[in-house]
Amino acid sequence: MVKFSSFLDRVSGFLAARKGLLPLTGLVLILVNLLFQVFPIGWLSTSHFFLHLGLILAILGFMLAWAL
């Protein structure tokens, strides 16, 4: 439990200095999904995996940036 707490402290300190990192990463993943829609590559283009992951990451990033 102590290791997890110290891990969260380090991640919180890292993200507090870089508030836009998670939303920008989410945006990049959404653009990667757009590329997979233009150039279909197997199950990635049909599942919209990067779209969903990018949206979740961007929303989480905005919530964390507002809280930190």
> What pLDDT, on the 0 to 100 scale, is given for residue 68?
66
> What pLDDT, on the 0 to 100 scale, is given for residue 61?
87
Question: Using DSSP, how many helices (H) and how many strands (E) does the chain show?
Answer: 4, 0
Q: Are 17 and 64 in contact (CB under 8 A)?
A: no
For the CA atoms of the chain, what is the radius of gyration?
A: 15
Total of domains in the chain: 1
Q: Are 47 and 12 in contact (CB under 8 A)?
A: no
The model's pTM is 0.79
| Structural domain span for residue 8 | 2-67
Tokens 């993200």 locate to 15
The percentage of residues in the chain with a pLDDT greater than 90, rounded to a whole number, is 41
